[in-house]
Amino acid sequence: MNPLLEDFNTAPFTKINVTDYKPAFKKAIEITKEEINLIVKNSETPTFENTTEALDYTGQKLNRITSIFFNLNSAETSKEIQQIAKEISPWLSEFKNDMILNAELFSRVKSVYDLKDSLELTPEQNMLLEKQYKGFARNGANLNTTDKEILREIDAELAKLSLQFGEHVLADNNAYELHITDEKDLSGLPESVREAAKITAKQREKEGWVFTLDYPSYIPFMTYANNRELRKELAIANGKKGFQDNENNNEQIVLNIVSLRHKRANLLGYKTHAHFVLEERMAETPENVLSFLNDLLEKAKPAAQREFQNLQNYAKKLDSIDSLQKWDGAYYSEKLKKELFNLDQELLKPYFQLENVIDGAFTIAHKLYDLVFEEVFDIEKYHQDVKTYHVKNSKGDFIAVFYADFHPREGKRNGAWMTSYKPQQVQNGLNDRPHISIVCNFTKPTGSQPSLLTFNEVTTLFHEFGHALHGILANTTYNSLSGTSVSWDFVELPSQVLENWCYEKEALELFAKHYKTGEMIPMEYVEKIKESASFHEGMQTLRQLSFGLLDMAWHARESSEETQSVKEFEAEAFSSTLLYPDVTENCMSTAFSHIFQGGYSSGYYSYKWAEVLDADAFELFQEKGIFDRETAEKFKTHVLSKGGTEKPMTLYKRFRGKEPKPDALLKRAGLI
């Protein structure tokens, strides 16, 4: 029997064979088609219950299998899994199109939608109906037969290209290593970084030390290595993923994706892909996004140029560097930061043992939202590194299952993300609770010390945990509106707002203790962390804005003319945000997975957008007290538990009492 097709609660990872996936997908697609067929063939007049609601409850088996498979393709992939992903992506794309372009099904959905004003629906029911109708209309249900076929072809091709893009980036990432045999080339590197590189070398059966493009290896090398030539080599290798003369080149794939997205938007009656995407976001139009980005750019650019000039002068004074390059940025920033604030990331790391930081995040969640995390050992996992938890409230009511996967390995992509193995919903009177997971890439423990985090990694953990809370506390009726199923420029609010606690003395006292002595982090360090929080904020803001502007340049263009050169196009998009000299061998777009593999196309601006929301929201916590139960309860009630059941601005205003203004963010960033 195929374990994926049996009824299961938590994912049956240990029972699944790679050969189970394809038959499971085939069968689950058939089952879902039968469920849809029952709705279509229902002889009764279409109603909210027998059509809208019934449709939301279809495909649950398929959704579970899909989430297990694609989560593993990111966190624990293999050649076999990647091959299956290539084969099943077109099946899923075709199935989705079969459903969206099913004229009889759409006719039922539309007839309920046309009556919506007379149905006396709750706000959540109204949102479900609206979202469902738009899901059809925005994906071609109103097209003629010929155009529907064209749309199917475009979607199948886009699904394939997006997978290839990600595989190429991962392949280039894994193909590179910096092998060091002379100890003097390690000059400047902290002991823990050397030790991790020695372990990597050993795993690869090599003498000496090996550094890779995985973040826990790459970032410390760029930050601390005194050898400028080796920093340059590593930086260039990192910057040319997908941009080399090999089988992993992504230039044509980028151009094809952009062109197909543009054609798709035009086919559906939109000017550009960005117009299509943004219609369903808080920002609403490309014009609003560009005005938002350019407004921030105007405020941040003078500060960024000042900071860059200071850094350049500092590098010149210190090492006679005439022209500051990209591989110098992190290195001299760290030195200058240390000099200005007497704050060394390495000095902080002993206070941030991974296990303590996790406990700290759990304690904060308990203080704010009455959650209790209990590690359990009877839930199946896909890798021994994964930790599993039951989440309850203090009365002992079960709230969620939580998975956490913290360390890098061969089959895992870079970065950090939150995901779900099972959504929350209420069905047949039963509140079915969610299974939520976070995946990060933090340094593994070594022989001599546990996993110690940099302060940046601490904020990353809190960021992903903020997303997790959005999933864990979900409390809606329909799974398609539950948890993080919200407008994309609202989804980063719960994650970014939680990062604020990392800078607060009251919160740090809960978990920042020395891994050897157990002593609390000294308060002068806390002050310095706060002081240095806005260090180089102008440059950081410019960097974020440059990615948002590049995304909009690709997707808000009204002409679909083929761009000849990805590199030249990108240089033009970056022109207003440029600080460092360009590196000929490097290109951002060919490895910009957020927009060409993830779901961020026309949405990268949402990180900054959410920062405005998070600074504004946290201002209320600061006024009332960062552990104020009443404020936390309001945030939980109106934001975290509500998912996408109402418009984001409606929910936000209910929590905050007013619309957000960028002032809190600009103040926090030291830009005003």
Residues with catalytic roles:
464
Phi, psi of 166 (to 5 degrees): -65, -40
Residues of 430-465 as b/e, b for ≥16 C-beta within 10 angstroms? eeebbbbbbbbbbbbebeebebbbbbebbbbbbbbb
Secondary structure in 3-state letters for 461-513? HHHHHHHHHHHHCCCCCCHHHCCCCCCCCCCHHHHHHHHHHHHCHHHHCCCCE
Report helix angle 215-224 to 228-239, nearest 10.
140
Separation in Å, CA 623 to CA 229, 364, 526, 629, 631: 49, 18, 20, 13, 10
Amino acid identity, position 230: L
The beta strands (E) that lie in 138-237 are given as 178-180, 209-211
Report how far residue 203's alpha carbon sits from residue 191's, in angstroms, rounded to the nearest whole number: 19
Task: Report residue 481 as tokens.
Answer: 């509106």
All residues at 6 or more sequence positions from 343 whose CB lies less than 8 Å from its CB, including other chains: 337, 525, 528, 529, 532
Task: Report residue 295 as tokens.
Answer: 């407004």
Amino acid identity, position 515: Y
Question: Is the distance from CB of 282 to CB of 653 less than 8 angstroms?
Answer: no
Report how far residue 258's alpha carbon sits from residue 411's, in angstroms, rounded to the nearest whole number: 28
Q: Is 435 helix (H, G, I), strand (E, B) or coil?
A: strand
